[in-house]
Structure 1
Amino acid sequence: MKKILVTGCNGQLGRAIQQVYAGEVEFILTDVVEGDNIKPLNIMNQREVSEFVKLERPDVIINCAAATNVDGCEKDWDFAYKLNAIGPRNLAITATSIGAKLIHVSTDYVFSGNANAPINEFQTPGPISAYGKTKYEGERFVQQFADKYFIVRTAWLYGDGKNFVKTMLKLSETHDEISVVCDQLGSPTSAIELARMIHHIEPTENYGIFHGTCEGDTNWADFTEEIFSIKGISCKVNHVTSEEYKAMNPAAADRPHYSILDNYMLRLTTDYKMADWHDALKEYLG
């Protein structure tokens, strides 16, 4: 049976991967904290990664581990760089040493957000935040050191764990109205949908960079209104600009204004198509 090592297995995507692959593979589940069937692994430590991977000898490594607190990355660059860049480097070097495939999950934040049309895999990144810059460095290390790799960029991810959808639902319990940014565009993506996409490309040798987001696009305020509509919640959503939000939250890091990714490589080289974001959201909330 195929052996798949999942880093960051307790995160939203890590949990979705386990759900989608259930019964098909032998999992080696790792995270920073040990638990039932979960082994501790600090991907920032090269020696630890090398010893662990060479002992377990997985066929595939899916790297879901990352420092994803965008504002937190601004405050602690060193930690963000070690987890988002050095970690993938360590996994890439060790994956190559045992002939394993590496699937590294990246982000729309590697782009500047200044585009005016969907961004494909061949457009030049230009990150504007510590999170985006460190994630881009992770991509570069994977390309440099991994022989067999998929880099999968996603955006606006939600699933089993802390996420935007749950935050909005929680706020609606105590507020009659909330203010949400309306001038940042992207494609809300279900972790289950992303796991299904990874499940589709992983057995292949169709290596390279892929964008993996649900089809269609929206802004955060309209996304919130769709969440409330599906759940029958009457909380009012006030549409505010990024500048207005920044004035209310001065410590917030800059976010890309335009994060609509084009799944060009998926469309060009496979017959797989991700679900529309409305349908994926209904499945998630259902």
Structure 2
Amino acid sequence: MGGTSKTTQTQTSQLSPYEPAAGTLNGILGNLSTIAGGVGTTPNTAQTSAINQLSANGTAGSPFTSALTSGALGLLNGGGATANDAAITNNLNDYKGLLTSTANGSEIGANSALKPQLDQITHDVTDQVNGAWAAAGRDGSPGNAQALGRGIAAGVAPVIAAQYNTDKTNQLNAASSLYNAGNTTYGILNGNNATANGNITAGTNVASAALNNENWGANTTLAAEAQRSGIPLDQYKTLLGMVSPVAATFGTQNGTATGTSEMSGLQQMAMLGQGLGSWSSLLFGA
């Protein structure tokens, strides 16, 4: 007769912490439970004082927020770089007003001092020529008139030519000055605009800093409160990491095991045979 046998066993075990470590471990777990409830505080007085100071600073807010905001607004409006543009333009216009008539040639031959000078030359030449011709008894003659005309022309021509050349030189110089003044003025204005644009770019960065500074108080308070709970939590976690291995390593393992066994048909027949033999011996004797 064939068959198989099967045995089933169930074991339950429990680890009791190492007795010297059990109190510390229970205390740490109790404090962690307290922190989990939201009422944990740092055990270190210096740390608590520092955190309270950070929290107070956060509540008060940053003292630089107003200045940064004002500075950002000023920069975003150009930083005053173009504030004097009107005055600079007026300077150019005033300069043009002084030189335009010279530069356009309307002053050529219009020197008010020229006529008295020419009149004086004419008077002197007339007196000299007429006196000479009168001394010769020929005053009023055609020769006298011709000589007088040539004398006056010879006297005033160089003066008129010199004045003309001076006026033309002044005209060219005035035109050049106006051109250079215009370039200089527009260069200044363009530079002011470039500075204003740079200030606007800088203002964007300052505006970002101002916004961050405005949130500085809240962020500082949050960081302080995170430290208030985080510092003791980290300490307890460190202690727990130190104590737990010791408690587990030297702990006591307790356990129980229960099991069931199922016999094969062959085993059952053998046991039945043994039982019958024992019964027969008792009944009939050995």
TM-score interval for Structure 1 and Structure 2 normalised by the shorter chain:
under 0.3
Q: Which has the higher contact order (CA 8 A, sep 6+)?
A: 2
TM-score, scaled relative to structure 1: 0.14
TM-score, scaled relative to structure 2: 0.14
The structure having more radius of gyration, on CA atoms, is 2
